């Protein structure tokens, strides 16, 4: 039988069941391609340990198959019990680390096939889910981080919950495969009938779909990188009076293929808060009906909006809604950064934003013992947490009287909070990449601390420690750490070789351009330095690097697919 494409796999899957159960029951070490595609909807990626590939090949052994399981929770919020349950799973089922993700989820890595059911059950037992954390559905709904309990955030978080519930796939395959009863049987699996999916239909969406909500002036969810970005409009009492809706953002592309490109979301319309979730549903169904299902590299909604035009798209959405809309109010953002350090959360209690390098919650051998520190604080104070889109952690609902106790626990575990780092480091992020990601072309998370140490030396030299400069790195052009709107981004091409992008914005509202097709890892600090020296020399008083770039490169703001694939000189002659 010839290989099925993903649309055919979904079509024949009986509500995303496929042959997941037979594979779980067999002694196969891993899933075949068709089940692997379906497994994503259930929240897991099949991977192999790429560090051990060569050695195992030499020994004629099969790959070391492992799984990543991703938990999703709207706006990254977890109760103390939920956080501690994940911490526990990391030890018993995973690789003793937790990975906070850039969509405010949590990933467990290194799970073996035999541990998949226990992991997913444990996630559900603590009141969360991995259902729809990956796959062609609406993924984790992102929401604004801090302050935690003011009116605008409470309103926005209610909307995040509403959206999350509305777009949950209805098929019962998740419950029947992972949760029902102790015993999995083939007969029961065969009897599982697909359930009607009111929003998704039988074929789900053409591709993944991302929604995020921001409360200005903080663009911590990187709202323009989303398929749908909702920006709260605020009234005099700090309440949300409406949402400005932006559509068609998305960052994945392939090196050298100009038909693939990142795009920022464009203004669609503004509506009343009570209509925002219905507006999302109308938008999702336009993509469901018109998105390109013939080519997965061209299937994201960003291509539909970019190629048919925002006017066409607006008409399509208008035909599916019955509430009034008005023009978007241009939002004013001051940055994508988190509120690191101590802050008042709006109801008399405190929150603490802790910077977590690359979002990896781990006890470092010669650095911060993040996992133990968080466990001690969350268990000791019974405080909830929120994962941020910069993969940092907010601990909240902390009584002011406990502040010193928390500080002492952090100090005891050598964990330093925001202010101790350069401003650049506090927002910098790198995707997971090697050794787990099958798509990685170069290292990212594992080399990022070393890179930032060297960049910090440049900052110290140029007296720029407190300057907001956004640096991101990924191991391939798929863009999981959202590189294409950073001031500086490094996108893996080959081992230790990166494409260098410059000229996004620390507010997340401008795309960068390809500056150098290939930079060696060791040459990155010097490449950044050259631009920062120019900045120090020619900046105007109070100007950020992003604003300096916008003023000195006025053409940079007009995005064209070429800007991601050709260097400036080649663009000029293209
Ligand atoms: C075609 C495009 C993409 C593909 C095929 C892809 C694939 C993957 C894979 C395989 C992983 C797992 C890596 C691991 O944990 O070992 C991953 C992680 C992740 N991806 Fe993507 N990705 C794509 C684009 C994006 C984009 C554009 C975003 C967000 C703007 C994104 C957000 C994430 C997040 C939040 C994670 C979790 C880990 C982290 O925070 O780095 N992905 N992706
Ligand atoms: S950007 Fe590429 S290398 Fe990094 S996690 Fe995403 S798919 Fe993997």
Q: Each residue of 521-542: pLDDT tens digit?
A: 999 999 999 999 999 999 999 9
Indicate the SS3 state at residue 64: coil
> Tell me: the pLDDT tens digits for 29-68?
999 999 999 999 999 999 999 999 999 999 999 999 999 9
Nearest to 398 by CA among 358, 343, 333, 454: 343
For residue 429, the cross-strand partners are 472
Residue nearest to ligand 1 atom 23, measured at CA = 478
Instruction: Judge if the beta carbon of residue 505 lies within 6 A of ligand 2.
Output: no
Q: CA 528, 534, 539: angle at the middle one, nearest 5?
A: 120
Residue 567 confidence (pLDDT): 87
Residue 118 confidence (pLDDT): 96
- Range from 156-165, 172-181, 193-202 that averages highest in pLDDT: 156-165
Instruction: Judge if the beta carbon of residue 130 lies within 6 A of ligand 1.
Output: no
Nearest to 251 by CA among 501, 556, 574, 528: 501
Cβ-based neighbours of 331, under 8 Å, separated by 6 or more = 214, 216, 219, 231, 244
DSSP letter, residue 285: H
DSSP letter, residue 102: T
Instruction: Judge if the beta carbon of residue 479 lies within 6 A of ligand 1.
Output: yes
Instruction: Judge if the beta carbon of residue 353 lies within 6 A of ligand 1.
Output: no
Checking if the pLDDT of 558 tops 70, the result is: no
User: How many other C-beta atoms can be found within 10 angstroms of the C-beta atom of residue 334?
Assistant: 13
Nearest to 215 by CA among 153, 259, 157, 270: 153
C-alpha 403 – ligand 1 centre gap (Å): 35
Q: How far is CA 236 from CA 143, 305, 425, in A?
A: 21, 34, 35
Q: What per-residue string of b and e applies to 149-180 under the rule 16 or more CB within 10 Å gives b?
A: bbebbebbbebbbbbbebbebebbbbebbbee
Residue nearest to ligand 2 atom 2, measured at CA = 476
Residue 2 confidence (pLDDT): 66
CATH superfamily, region 341-423: Sulfite Reductase Hemoprotein;Domain 2 (3.90.480.10)
Query: Is the CB of residue 445 less than 8 Å from the CB of residue 391?
Result: no
Q: CA 450, 452, 454: angle at the middle one, nearest 5?
A: 75
The H or E element that residue 85 is part of is: helix 80-92
Cβ-based neighbours of 282, under 8 Å, separated by 6 or more = 317, 320, 321
pLDDT band, very low/low/confident/very high, at 544 (cuts 50, 70, 90): very high
Does residue 111 or residue 571 have the better pLDDT?
Answer: 111
Cβ-based neighbours of 442, under 8 Å, separated by 6 or more = 433, 434, 475, 476, 492, 493, 494, 495, 496, 497, 498, 521
Checking if the pLDDT of 80 tops 90, the result is: yes
CA gap 553, 571 in Å, rounded: 14
CATH number for the segment(s) 140-173+199-336: 3.30.413.10
pLDDT band, very low/low/confident/very high, at 432 (cuts 50, 70, 90): very high
Instruction: Judge if the beta carbon of residue 424 lies within 6 A of ligand 1.
Output: no
Q: Which fold has domain 6-139+174-182?
A: Alpha-Beta Plaits (3.30.70)
> Tell me: the pLDDT tens digits for 146-165?
988 899 999 999 999 999 99
The H or E element that residue 546 is part of is: helix 545-552
The two structure tokens encoding residue 148: 């935690």
**For residues 265-294, average pLDDT:** 98
Task: Please determine whether the domains at 6-139+174-182 and 140-173+199-336 fall in the same fold group of CATH.
Answer: no
**For residues 185-203, average pLDDT:** 82
> Tell me: the pLDDT tens digits for 105-149?
999 999 999 999 999 999 999 999 999 999 999 999 999 999 888
The two structure tokens encoding residue 105: 């989820």
User: How many other C-beta atoms can be found within 10 angstroms of the C-beta atom of residue 422?
Assistant: 17
- CATH classification (class only), 425-573: alpha beta
Checking if the pLDDT of 557 tops 60, the result is: no
Pairing of strands 385-387, 360-361: unpaired
Residue 346 Rama label (left phi>0; alpha psi -120 to 50; beta): left
Instruction: Judge if the beta carbon of residue 440 lies within 6 A of ligand 2.
Output: yes
Taking the CA of residue 262 as reference, the ligand 1 atom at the shortest distance is 27
Burial group, residue 319, by CB count within 10 angstroms (0-12, 13-18, 19+): exposed
pTM equals: 0.96
CA gap 11, 213 in Å, rounded: 32
Indicate the SS3 state at residue 203: coil
Torsion of CA 261, 262, 266, 271, to 10 degrees: 130
Taking the CA of residue 431 as reference, the ligand 1 atom at the shortest distance is 41
Residue 261 confidence (pLDDT): 95
Cβ-based neighbours of 226, under 8 Å, separated by 6 or more = 142, 210, 211, 212, 246, 249, 250, 265
Residue 180 confidence (pLDDT): 78
Average pLDDT taken over every residue of the chain: 95
Residue nearest to ligand 1 atom 16, measured at CA = 437
Can you state the angle between helices 524-538 and 545-552, rounded to 10 degrees? 80
Nearest to 40 by CA among 106, 115, 108, 130: 130
> Tell me: the pLDDT tens digits for 305-339?
999 999 999 999 999 999 999 999 899 999 999 99
Checking if the pLDDT of 217 tops 80, the result is: yes
C-alpha 28 – ligand 1 centre gap (Å): 26
Ranges 94-98, 207-211, 258-262, 564-568: which has the least confidence: 564-568
**For residues 184-199, average pLDDT:** 78
**For residues 229-244, average pLDDT:** 96
Query: Is the CB of residue 470 less than 8 Å from the CB of residue 482?
Result: no
Nearest to 70 by CA among 356, 354, 437, 401: 437
The residue ranges of every structural domain in the chain are 6-139+174-182, 140-173+199-336, 341-423, 425-573
Residue nearest to ligand 1 atom 9, measured at CA = 437
Residue 53 confidence (pLDDT): 96
CA gap 214, 217 in Å, rounded: 8
């Amino acid at each position: 039988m010839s290989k099925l494409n993903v649309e055919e796999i979904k079509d024949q899957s009986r509500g995303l069941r496929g042959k997941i159960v037979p594979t779980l029951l067999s002694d196969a070490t891993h899933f075949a391609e068709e089940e692997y595609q379906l497994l994503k909807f259930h929240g897991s990626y099949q991977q192999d340990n790429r560090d051990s590939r060569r050695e195992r090949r030499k020994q004629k052994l099969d790959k070391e198959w492992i799984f990543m399981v991703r938990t999703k929770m709207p706006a990254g919020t977890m109760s103390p019990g939920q956080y501690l349950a994940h911490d526990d799973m990391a030890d018993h089922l995973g690789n003793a680390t937790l990975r906070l993700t850039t969509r405010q989820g949590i990933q467990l890595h290194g799970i073996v096939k035999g541990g998949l059911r226990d992991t997913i059950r444990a996630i559900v037992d603590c009141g969360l889910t991995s259902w729809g954390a990956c796959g062609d559905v609406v993924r984790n709904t992102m929401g604004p981080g801090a302050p935690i309990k003011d009116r605008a955030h409470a309103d926005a978080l209610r909307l995040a919950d509403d959206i999350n519930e509305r777009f949950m796939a209805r098929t019962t395959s998740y419950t029947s495969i992972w949760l029902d009863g102790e015993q999995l049987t083939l007969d029961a699996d065969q009897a599982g009938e697909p359930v009607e999916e009111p929003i998704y239909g039988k074929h789900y969406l053409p591709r993944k779909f991302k929604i995020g909500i921001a409360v200005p002036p903080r663009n911590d969810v990187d709202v323009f990188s989303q398929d749908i970005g909702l920006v709260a409009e605020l009234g005099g009492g700090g309440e949300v009076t409406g949402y400005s809706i932006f559509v068609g953002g998305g960052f994945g592309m392939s090196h050298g293929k100009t038909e693939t490109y990142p795009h920022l979301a464009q203004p669609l319309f503004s509506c009343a808060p009570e209509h925002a979730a219905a507006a999302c549903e109308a938008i999702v169904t336009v993509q469901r009906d018109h998105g390109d299902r013939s080519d997965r590299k061209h299937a994201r909604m960003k291509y539909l909006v970019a190629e048919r035009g925002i006017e066409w798209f607006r008409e399509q959405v208008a035909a599916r809604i019955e509430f009034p809309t008005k023009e978007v109010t241009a939002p004013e953002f001051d940055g994508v950064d988190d509120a690191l350090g101590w802050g008042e959360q709006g109801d008399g209690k405190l929150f603490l934003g802790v910077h977590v390098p690359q979002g990896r919650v781990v006890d470092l051998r010669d650095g911060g013992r993040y996992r133990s520190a968080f466990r001690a604080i969350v268990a000791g104070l019974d405080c909830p947490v929120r994962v941020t889109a910069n993969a940092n952690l907010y601990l909240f609902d902390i009584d002011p009287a406990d502040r010193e106790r928390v500080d002492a626990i952090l100090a005891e575990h050598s964990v330093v909070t925001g202010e101790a780092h350069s401003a650049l480091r506090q927002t910098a992020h790198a995707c997971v990449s090697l050794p787990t990601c099958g798509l990685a072309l170069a290292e990212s998370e594992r080399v990022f601390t070393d890179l930032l140490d060297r960049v910090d030396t440049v900052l110290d030299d140029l007296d720029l420690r407190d300057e907001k400069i956004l640096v991101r790195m990924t191991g391939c052009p798929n863009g999981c750490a959202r590189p294409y709107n950073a001031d500086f981004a490094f996108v893996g091409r080959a081992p230790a070789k990166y494409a260098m992008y410059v000229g996004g914005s620390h507010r997340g509202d401008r795309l960068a351009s390809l500056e150098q097709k290939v930079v060696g890892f060791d040459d990155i600090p010097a490449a950044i330095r050259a631009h920062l020296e120019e900045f120090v020399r020619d900046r105007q008083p109070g100007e950020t690097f992003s604003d300096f770039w916008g003023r000195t490169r006025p053409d940079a703001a007009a995005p064209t697919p070429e800007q991601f694939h050709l260097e400036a000189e080649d663009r000029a002659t293209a």
